[in-house]
Amino acid sequence: MVRFVDVPNMRRWLIDTGIERAISGIAETLEADFLRWEEFDKTARVASHSTVGVIELMPASDGRQYGFKYVNGHPDNPARGLQTVTAFGVLADVDSGYPTLWAEMTILTALRTAATSAMVARALAPAGATTMAMIGTGSQAEFQALGFRALLGIRSLRIWDTDPHAMDVFEANMRPLGVEVVRASGAADAVEGAQIITTCTADKTNATVLTDDMVAPGVHLNAIGGDCPGKTELDPRILLRGDIFVEYPPQTRIEGEIQQLDPEHPVTEMWRVLRGEATGRTSDEQITIFDSVGFAIEDFAALRYLASAVDGTDYCTDIDIIAEPEDPKNLFALVAQGAAAPSLT
Amino acid sequence: MVRFVDVPNMRRWLIDTGIERAISGIAETLEADFLRWEEFDKTARVASHSTVGVIELMPASDGRQYGFKYVNGHPDNPARGLQTVTAFGVLADVDSGYPTLWAEMTILTALRTAATSAMVARALAPAGATTMAMIGTGSQAEFQALGFRALLGIRSLRIWDTDPHAMDVFEANMRPLGVEVVRASGAADAVEGAQIITTCTADKTNATVLTDDMVAPGVHLNAIGGDCPGKTELDPRILLRGDIFVEYPPQTRIEGEIQQLDPEHPVTEMWRVLRGEATGRTSDEQITIFDSVGFAIEDFAALRYLASAVDGTDYCTDIDIIAEPEDPKNLFALVAQGAAAPSLT
């Protein structure tokens, strides 16, 4: 039997746990996994592109557990009432190869992306940051806002989205939570006075949601929307002014903002910064850029956290997905009744 | 909602359908997919190796549907009561990126492997073949035997396995089905008089279950056990004497018997033979070798066949794995109750 966390159970678990507590827990697991980065069997995700979107598989293993996520990205989905991103994931036992947990990950991905962004910003953002600009207020936005409040104490947000409805939704969701939300008149207005800028838009194009003049010295840029070949958000001049931090270079070179740069352009792996083996922020004037595309170890950590959180609770059910004949060399016994004698064939 | 076929439903569906009818149906879907090979987005499977086994993801897409299989291979599993191979798979809609079917595939993989072997043998084996030797009688063996009976009319089997228990199980399973089973004293004895030889052993080593002198002119070799780097079954001299047919060369070069040969050694893609664009068997003396490793399009075809077979029946249930907020830009609404006002954080 494999434990299964469907959407209703994920919702119930998250509501009972609290979103900020869950993001903080995932961030803790995530940081522990970043600190043992070298133990992982890592691979760039396997993407299947179509004209309307992408479907990806993201596997990772630490030699004891194996995990993967299925995730799609379809920017035109909301126009017909569907989610841009949906996801599910599996954990398995490396020793036996048997799956152990299957979980919805549309909601869990939002949590792990917020946890990753906030964990990285805690290491790179200027000390004493109080205000974050958010360019793009889609489905990820509230989770980002709560992640930055939980880990960095950010309580003032300046938002901008080309879709006024997305801003309406965000404001309505955040206002009751004691977060100050200022609705800007454009991206340039949104970044005014912000020490952190999060870009998270969905268009599968080389867009420029932030131009070079909008990025003041000292800012930390949390660039999470550019995550696909041909899908970027930043003016490349910003990238040349700042120091760039990434998850897994072989994947980010293909998918991240740095696809716009020379393939040899220097980047720093974030796990090295967390381990103290590479420098992060070194001055008040420095622009730090987290060119985040989402990496499999983050999903692995989120699944690992979820597995231990739901273990022994009723937030998961058992599903029968592993054929287990009494004699392991006799799989046929399970279906022998379906084999007919020659007179019947 | 996603349709879900768990192990009990897969068993019930297969028993009600009949194993040979299911294998024939999959072979038909498979042949249709091989005939439109060029339409597929293809990639070699993504393997995560450990000292005791391998876990693999096998994706494929025809531009309308996307499918992948999770499968492990752990040769030491049976010694502790576990299956060597377990699997599950997913179909999804390329247009939306949403999954549509989730199914157990331990049983389904046995069916699709048998369907693939028999479909290929139907094209390559000598005309009028009546007898098949089977080296290795583990979990796949009965399905192979029934596949070859259904598609080629093979009714006489000569078997060999280093584990006598595996032969006991096979004999007990097959005898009631009107198939003549001769238990050989070794591999050399098993191949006597056989026009087709199937090798299907599990050891993750470069083994030699068949030596060059055992392979007579005119034989068709269905080599399905060598399917991993460092896991082969055949004396390489056999490969040099015969003509080699493969599924997807970039994967077979790494995983198949031909990993023992020069990377430039000529091989023929099986889809080209089925399309009449490449020659298959050209003489009675020719040795034809299907160096089969299992390719994602085969799983895709099996899932496609299953999906249409269970559609609208009670062989599947609905599971709630896609988070669907009423407003697609408001994922947060599903869990907003889990966000606390500042006094509670």
Write out the two tokens for B99.
């999954």
Are residues A139 and A74 part of one domain?
A: no
By the 8 A CB rule, do A257 and A245 touch?
A: no
Q: Picking from A143-152, A272-281, B200-209, which range would have the lowest pLDDT averaged per residue? A: B200-209
Are B337 and A15 in contact (CB < 8 Å)?
Answer: yes
User: What's the rounded Cα separation, in Å, for the pair B164 and B81?
Assistant: 17
Write out the two tokens for B149.
């009976």
Is the predicted pLDDT of residue A319 greater than 70, yes or no? yes
User: What's the rounded Cα separation, in Å, for the pair A46 and A229?
Assistant: 13
The residues in A 114-143 lying below 8 A from B, measured between CB atoms, are: 138-143
Closest CA to B200 of B265, B290, B122: B290
Are residues B134 and B79 part of one domain?
A: no
In a domain, A16, yes or no: yes
User: What's the rounded Cα separation, in Å, for the pair B69 and A140?
Assistant: 29
Residue A206 pLDDT: 73
Q: Picking from A154-168, A218-232, B132-146, which range would have the lowest pLDDT averaged per residue? A: A218-232
We report the CATH number of the domain holding residue B226 as 3.40.50.720
Across A264-274, average pLDDT: 98
Is the predicted pLDDT of residue B204 greater than 70, yes or no? no
Active-site pick, A33, A161, A227, A299: A227
Write the pLDDT tens digit of every residue in B206-216.
778 899 999 99
In a domain, B345, yes or no: no
Residue A342 pLDDT: 58
For the stretch B48-76, what's the b/e string if a residue is b when 16 or more beta carbons lie within 10 angstroms of its beta carbon?
bbbeebbbbbbbbbbeebbbbbbbbbbbe
Cβ contacts of A59 on chain B, cutoff 8 Å: 46, 48, 55, 57
Q: If pLDDT is split at 50, 70 and 90, which confidence band does B308 have?
A: very high
Write the pLDDT tens digit of every residue in B168-195.
999 999 999 999 999 999 999 999 999 9
We report the CATH number of the domain holding residue A31 as 3.30.1780.10
User: What's the rounded Cα separation, in Å, for the pair B298 and A265?
Assistant: 41
Closest CA to A27 of A192, A158, A147: A147
What is the percentage of chain B residues whose pLDDT exceeds 90?
88
Write out the two tokens for B291.
């160096």
Query: ∠ CA A303-A308-A312 to the nearest 5 degrees?
Result: 125
Write out the two tokens for A134.
């958010």
Cβ contacts of B63 on chain A, cutoff 8 Å: 50
Q: If pLDDT is split at 50, 70 and 90, which confidence band does B345 have?
A: very low
Are residues B271 and B145 part of one domain?
A: yes
Is the predicted pLDDT of residue A345 greater than 50, yes or no? no
Burial of B214 (0-12, 13-18, 19+ CB in 10 A): buried
Are B15 and A146 in contact (CB < 8 Å)?
Answer: no
Active-site pick, B227, B235, B291, B299: B227
Across A63-79, average pLDDT: 95
Are residues B231 and B87 part of one domain?
A: no
Q: In this structure, what DSSP letter does residue A330 have?
A: -
* Residue tagged 């693939």 (tokens): B116
Residue B340 pLDDT: 81
Across A237-248, average pLDDT: 97
What is the percentage of chain A residues whose pLDDT exceeds 90?
88
Residue A207 pLDDT: 79
Closest CA to B116 of B306, B5, B246: B246
Across A325-334, average pLDDT: 91
Residue A341 pLDDT: 67
Burial of A93 (0-12, 13-18, 19+ CB in 10 A): middle
Cβ contacts of A61 on chain B, cutoff 8 Å: 48, 50, 55
Q: Across the interface, which of B97, B143, B322 has its CB nearest the CB of A53?
A: B97
In a domain, A6, yes or no: yes
Catalytic-residue membership of A291: no
Are residues A94 and A39 part of one domain?
A: yes
User: What's the rounded Cα separation, in Å, for the pair A63 and A94?
Assistant: 6
Is the predicted pLDDT of residue A202 greater than 90, yes or no? no
Q: In this structure, what DSSP letter does residue B155 have?
A: -
Q: Helical H runs in chain B?
A: 7-17, 19-35, 106-124, 141-152, 164-174, 187-190, 236-241, 249-255, 270-274, 296-310
Count of structural domains within chain B: 2
Closest CA to A13 of A3, A57, A113: A3
Are A97 and B78 in contact (CB < 8 Å)?
Answer: no
Are residues A159 and A95 part of one domain?
A: no
Instruction: Tell me what the pLDDT averaged over chain B comes to.
Output: 94
Across A202-206, average pLDDT: 70
Closest CA to B246 of B233, B260, B256: B256
Is the predicted pLDDT of residue B343 greater than 60, yes or no? no
Q: In this structure, what DSSP letter does residue B341 have?
A: P
Residue A334 pLDDT: 95
Q: Number of residue pairs across A and B with CB atoms under 8 Å?
A: 287
Are residues B225 and B147 part of one domain?
A: yes
A85 vs A108, higher pLDDT: A108
Residue A167 pLDDT: 96
In a domain, B337, yes or no: no
In a domain, B79, yes or no: yes
By the 8 A CB rule, do A231 and A254 touch?
A: no
Cβ contacts of B152 on chain A, cutoff 8 Å: none
* Residue type for position B330: N
Strands A131-135 and A156-160: parallel
Are residues B127 and B95 part of one domain?
A: no
Are residues B220 and B278 part of one domain?
A: yes
Across A209-235, average pLDDT: 90
In a domain, B51, yes or no: yes
Give the CA radius of gyration of chain B: 22
In a domain, A200, yes or no: yes
The values of phi and psi at residue A339, to 5°, are -100, 125
Residue A117 pLDDT: 98
Write the pLDDT tens digit of every residue in A280-306.
999 999 999 999 999 999 999 999 999
User: What's the rounded Cα separation, in Å, for the pair A117 and A198?
Assistant: 9
Tell me the three-class secondary structure of A41-56, residue by residue.
EECCCEEEECCCCEEE
Are B55 and A66 in contact (CB < 8 Å)?
Answer: yes
A15 in contact with chain B, both atoms CB, cutoff 8 A: yes
In a domain, B121, yes or no: yes
Query: For B338, which residue in chain A has the nearest alpha carbon?
Result: A15
Could you list the residue range(s) of the whole structural domain that residue B141 is in? 117-295
Across A64-86, average pLDDT: 94
Are A74 and B83 in contact (CB < 8 Å)?
Answer: no
What is the percentage of chain B residues whose pLDDT exceeds 70?
98
Across B263-275, average pLDDT: 97
Across A259-281, average pLDDT: 97
Enumerate the β-bridge partners of residue B181: B157
For the stretch B102-139, what's the b/e string if a residue is b when 16 or more beta carbons lie within 10 angstroms of its beta carbon?
bbbbbbbbbbbbbbbbbbbbbbbbbeebebbbbbbbbb
Strands A65-73 and A87-93: antiparallel
Is the predicted pLDDT of residue A343 greater than 60, yes or no? no
A59 in contact with chain B, both atoms CB, cutoff 8 A: yes
Contact residues for B344 (Cβ-Cβ < 8 A; gap 6+): none
Across A148-174, average pLDDT: 96
Mutation target for A interface from B58, B251, B322: give the one with most A CBs within 10 A: B322
Are residues A270 and A144 part of one domain?
A: yes
Are residues A290 and A174 part of one domain?
A: yes
Q: If pLDDT is split at 50, 70 and 90, which confidence band does A228 have?
A: confident
Are residues A154 and A59 part of one domain?
A: no
Is the predicted pLDDT of residue B313 greater than 70, yes or no? yes
Residue B229 pLDDT: 84
Q: In this structure, what DSSP letter does residue A287 have?
A: P
End-to-end CA, chain B: 35
A32 in contact with chain B, both atoms CB, cutoff 8 A: no
Is the complex ipTM higher than 0.90? yes
